[in-house]
Structure 1
């Protein structure tokens, strides 16, 4: 597959922006005008052979915790601080996992991605890795945090890759005004998951045995600035934690985001498929954007690795049904299957019939869906009906 290279103007603009930001950071740091640095740990992932440590080094903007934000103005200020990040490029970070130690350097956007070999004897499940900032030196001492890492072991029967917006969380990303409101002026406490999604994803994680520890990954076009917001949302609604693979908004080496479609999802999914080979996967998305098209590409590129594609029916333009039917046929021809569903229970019944989850979990998903529906206002429930 050929990749479109950014034009010379984009590359030049990126270099100018990167140089000016780096110079600004160094000057402010030297004059002691910069805020103290902060390490924001992300959920990493991997196997007992190789695991990815992920984090970002930023100037600490002191975003107030959720329980101290009571008003729309407070939410708006917190959102502004999340988006107006000041990244620290070329920061040196020490990583400690058990008796092993490594060092890594952040890129021009402050991101740290470091592949490491886990200590001997590491088992499947979640582990904590210590991160320490070595440079730049902070007046408050070297910041230290723990980064969670999900290790997949031989117990895993399959992996799950899920979109977030309008697949897990009710977002209505196809509506520009509602999308803006969701991204900038709401808290994770007020956003709603789709009914029964917590029980369904828990069942997928447990697999056919109830103890499979199947890894779940969340891939989204949302910006990395929303990482903490989304991670807190998953925990609040008891949706299984998993690595979040988001998108860097703004000018980059490859162009400007959020423009240019959702092709970045393909790169992230390919990375997961390669890292966990030969583990099979389920792919879950929605009908409102390009999930079905991307998943068709993955099915073709990784023959025999995708057990099923689930596409949730949400609002979409006229004619989308015909496009989805054609994509489903292509996926069947490639040796997999695609199912469009109106609710989580339908997907759970199909997964149970295929032996991917235990049959008794279908009743649990149905019960959770009913509880979630009853907790909605009548207008909320009506808004969630498929169109």
Structure 2
């Protein structure tokens, strides 16, 4: 007989942890032992009628920038600081976008999610919103700029992509390899899947070459890795897009990570509703539950999903049969699912459907070849015996 989760106990534990952390920060602040707050801006998104501004207010742990981390120990310390965050709840933040101003308050985990109506006449593309801390301790806390992606009428299709083992090789199904990847490697020494940068850029440009199709990245990685992942995308020239991650640790609903990857469904539903009636392409991998989640989205938003692309990565025996069944159900739902071994295969299919230009397939193929050579060189260097 199954037992219901102890929601009351979870809520009590969350409240105790929250009050202890808040009390600890206030005490250290009065004793002048706490570092000043910091506003960490996230990439927001929306439409000319409704957009979301996202950020988090944390105690500044002074993580060294990538160019000042030289050793494995330095990388480990930086990762530890990212996870050992001290959130600032109930902080008041002012947002300024053009001639409009709003004020928002962070939640118990320090997150700011402010839904606003953009200034009149806002055009599609990236915009910057200035964020300023009002309380607590605004003195010495610099203003920051939060990017917001507005999807306008020029967009032909939206793209929602997983990150782990879809864009970046993370071995998400192997706990030890994933731990090494997250804690002890830098984005500078990691490579994306071959040709991903050119393929996603082709999807962003769309059929006309100037569509500006919005791209979103949904992952089970924690918000603590936001800067790490954002730096990785920029370094490898993968089109920028809002990163929708998950909160790790104790929350009102339980302890994360745990309970699968259902949070991805919530994020994707939010995107589908905010950007309606824009159609979408969904990209994931075979190692986790991406195909199952995308099947659910196909059924919940009939006619909105043009295609589901699933990258073949290592998976458990029998997974192929499951994917075949899911593909049939997705076709029955009015969409299609393509399982691919490489990025060029997906690009050729997208070109045949009119979602990207045919000339971009050659670009994807060239980038895939270059990335393969680069990966081979790194593997060879790793195999060289030390002097």
**TM-score in terms of structure 1 length:** 0.96
State the alpha-carbon separation in 2 of the partners of residues 380 and 345 from structure 1: 22
What do the CA deviations read for 1:72-94 (whole angstroms, capped 9, x no partner)?
A: 01101111111100110000000
Matches within 5 A, 1:40-119: 40-119=40-119
Structure 1 residues 145, 6: closer, same or farther in 2, change over 3 A?
farther
The answer on whether the counterparts of 1:5 and 1:254 sit within 8 Å (CA) in structure 2 is no
Q: Secondary structure at the match of 2:278?
A: coil
State the alpha-carbon separation in 2 of the partners of residues 228 and 5 from structure 1: 33
CA shift, 1:335, in A, is 0.5
CA shift, 1:378, in A, is 6.5
The answer on whether the counterparts of 2:191 and 2:375 sit within 8 Å (CA) in structure 1 is no
Matches within 5 A, 1:303-382: 303-377=302-376, 380=379
Q: Secondary structure at the match of 2:362?
A: helix
Query: Aligned Cα RMSD in Å?
Result: 1.3
State the alpha-carbon separation in 1 of the partners of residues 123 and 228 from structure 2: 29
State the alpha-carbon separation in 1 of the partners of residues 347 and 379 from structure 2: 23
CA shift, 1:19, in A, is 1.4
Q: Secondary structure at the match of 1:212?
A: coil
State yes or no: 1:136 paired with 2:128.
no
**TM-score in terms of structure 2 length:** 0.96
The answer on whether the counterparts of 1:55 and 1:113 sit within 8 Å (CA) in structure 2 is yes
Matches within 5 A, 1:263-302: 263-302=262-301
Segments ≥4 residues shifted beyond 6 Å? none
What do the CA deviations read for 1:23-61 (whole angstroms, capped 9, x no partner)?
A: 222222222221110000000000100110000000001
State yes or no: 1:10 paired with 2:10.
yes
State the alpha-carbon separation in 2 of the partners of residues 204 and 34 from structure 1: 45
Q: Between Structure 1 and Structure 2, how many residues are aligned?
A: 377
What do the CA deviations read for 1:284-319 (whole angstroms, capped 9, x no partner)?
A: 000000000000000000000000000000000000
What do the CA deviations read for 1:229-285 (whole angstroms, capped 9, x no partner)?
A: 000000000000000000100001111111111000000000000000000000000
Structure 1 residues 95, 379: closer, same or farther in 2, change over 3 A?
closer
State yes or no: 1:204 paired with 2:167.
no
State the alpha-carbon separation in 2 of the partners of residues 145 and 133 from structure 1: 9
1:217 corresponding residue in structure 2: 216
What are structure 2's unaligned runs of at least 5 residues?
381-387
1:261 corresponding residue in structure 2: 260
Q: Secondary structure at the match of 1:173?
A: coil
What are structure 1's unaligned runs of at least 5 residues?
382-387
The answer on whether the counterparts of 2:76 and 2:184 sit within 8 Å (CA) in structure 1 is yes
1:184 corresponding residue in structure 2: 183
